[in-house]
Chain A
Amino acid sequence: MNILKVQNLRKAYHTKTNEILAVKDFSFNLKQGEFVAIVGPSGCGKSTILSILCGLDKASSGKIEIDKNLKFGYMLQGDNLFEWRTIYKNCLIGLELENKLTKENINYVNKLLDTYGLKEFKKSYPSNLSGGMRQRVSLIRTLATKPDILFLDEPFSALDYQTRLAVSDDVYQIIKKEKKSAIMITHDISEAISMADKVIVLSKRPSTIKNIYEIKLTNKSTPIQNRKAKEFAYYYDKIWKDIDYHV
């Protein structure tokens, strides 16, 4: 079942000096429980697409159909933690804004903090945490309001390679366990193949869809395991050629 339908999305930015066509034509559907990755060259309009889908920006034209009852969780590029709030308070900000600081929700946040190894850091401030921990806090902050669809904008870009693998494994499991649908932007082709059910490859700006790959791996399991699947190299090669990094 499709929970999100996008048709011929187009977005132009207007500044005083010129007009930038960021997205030329973008259409796709998201199914319930599906994990979609979007890859494409830098500056091609990935963040733009995401912010339009979750309602922060307006499209210039095109049609977006979304089930009105669904809730969005948007994880921006960068963790954007509030330095003056404790980790715990950072996680609660969404609930505060939505006036939903119920016992049940607070328990849920506590459980998430506990599960993802941040319990001892509840009273710490963000500056005392490593990049990986901060990213996890940012994810918990997003999950706290119990969104149905997650929009992730390069969620792991601030992390070193080792942490990146570990955290993306974590995040993947959280998303699957909580039965969320997700759209994730990434620069990392391996990450896209190892995590997503579907990879959308965008062209250079103004972006259009170059290709969509249904990722079918034998013995599909966690992202780290998936990297060992025999089809992995095949997809990697295809996507690499699509993106055509030689500019």
Chain B
Amino acid sequence: MYSKEHKEYLKKIKINKFLIRLSQLLIVFLIIFIWQFAADKNLINTFISSSPKAIINTIINLYKDETLFHHIWITFYEVIISFLIATIGGIIIASILWRYKFISKVIDPYLTMLNSLPKVSLGPIIIIIAGASTKSIIIMALFISIIITIINVTQAFETTDKNKIRLLQSFKAKPYQIFFKLILPSNYNNLINVCKVNIGLVFIGVIMGEFLVSKAGIGYLIMYGSQVFNLNLVMTGVILLAIMASLMYYLIIFIEKKFQK
């Protein structure tokens, strides 16, 4: 049983948390309200800035056309595939670089160069090689996220406590044992952070890819909308993206909490 003081403390935390959530919701409603109000009163040009009502209508229409979930699914699929390949592939490559320092030193300047290269510039080349297809989009997203994943994960692995490595070596641990017993678990938080960054990067890559070779997906909706001057569609695409991106971000946080137990 908690003391009275502790109960009050817990209550205070709860109330504080509630107030934060409430304020966050209020901000959303306030923005929607002001936006709609300004649109109704013709304070803003709805042709360019759209309006909440128009966006909801667009979503409903997309749903009635049975294309809403198709587009969402296409983008989601591309994001998940690229995310998994970039994250897992990046970690595997980083592990190899951790194990073989020589290779790591050799390719270091190339990684740095690739990292600072604006990846969009590779778009046309990728499309020529892989064709105007989903494949190009995934490759695009991969390029954007895997290089930085490799760099960040290698760096994290390198900073593992040297004394702990020596401790394991004193038990005659083999490199793979050091990797699985120490390097991986001690960098758990770093890896989760890499995942969080990657979700954002992969989204950028996928949308960029969809802009370039669009047949379907949210990026396609936005591109198509801008070409036919249907700004409602563009705004709808942006809003859908924002929702998807934050949902995936929270999914990672959820997984993080689950595994921490």
Interface residues of B in 169-199 (CB under 8 A from A): 169-173, 177, 181-182, 185-186, 188
Task: Assess whether B182 is in contact with A82, with CB atoms less than 8 Å apart.
Answer: yes
Interface residues of B in 148-173 (CB under 8 A from A): 161, 163-164, 166-173
A116 to chain B, nearest CB (A): 19
Task: Assess whether B170 is in contact with A74, with CB atoms less than 8 Å apart.
Answer: yes
Task: Assess whether B170 is in contact with A78, with CB atoms less than 8 Å apart.
Answer: no
Task: Assess whether B170 is in contact with A72, with CB atoms less than 8 Å apart.
Answer: yes
Q: Give the nearest-CB partner of A74 in chain B.
A: B170
Number of A-B residue pairs with CB-CB distance less than 8 Å in the complex they form: 40
Task: Assess whether A98 is in contact with B171, with CB atoms less than 8 Å apart.
Answer: yes
- In which size bucket is the chain B interface? 10 to 19
Task: Assess whether B171 is in contact with A82, with CB atoms less than 8 Å apart.
Answer: no
Bound Cα distance A110, B245 (Å): 48
Question: Which residues of the partner chain B approach A54 to less than 8 Å between Cβ atoms?
Answer: 170
Q: Give the nearest-CB partner of A144 in chain B.
A: B171
**With A74-B170, A97-B168: A84-B181 Cβ-Cβ less than 8 Å:** no
B166 to chain A, nearest CB (A): 6
What does DSSP make chain B's interface, helix, strand, loop or mixed?
Answer: helix
- Is A186 among interface residues, defined by CB-CB distance under 8 A? no
Task: Assess whether A82 is in contact with B172, with CB atoms less than 8 Å apart.
Answer: no
Question: Which residues of the partner chain B approach A145 to less than 8 Å between Cβ atoms?
Answer: 171
Task: Assess whether A82 is in contact with B164, with CB atoms less than 8 Å apart.
Answer: yes
**Interface size of A by Cβ–Cβ distance < 8 Å?**
18
- Is A56 among interface residues, defined by CB-CB distance under 8 A? yes
Task: Assess whether B166 is in contact with A56, with CB atoms less than 8 Å apart.
Answer: yes
Q: Give the nearest-CB partner of A73 in chain B.
A: B170
Task: Assess whether B185 is in contact with A82, with CB atoms less than 8 Å apart.
Answer: yes
Question: Which residues of the partner chain A approach B163 to less than 8 Å between Cβ atoms?
Answer: 76-78, 80
Bound Cα distance A54, B164 (Å): 16
- Is A242 among interface residues, defined by CB-CB distance under 8 A? no
Q: Give the nearest-CB partner of A78 in chain B.
A: B163
> Top 3 nearest A-B pairs by Cβ distance?
A74-B170, A97-B171, A94-B171
Return 22 A-B CB contacts under 8 Å, by A number: A54-B170, A56-B166, A56-B169, A74-B167, A74-B170, A76-B166, A76-B167, A76-B170, A78-B163, A80-B161, A80-B167, A82-B164, A82-B182, A82-B185, A84-B185, A84-B186, A93-B168, A93-B171, A93-B181, A97-B168, A97-B171, A98-B171
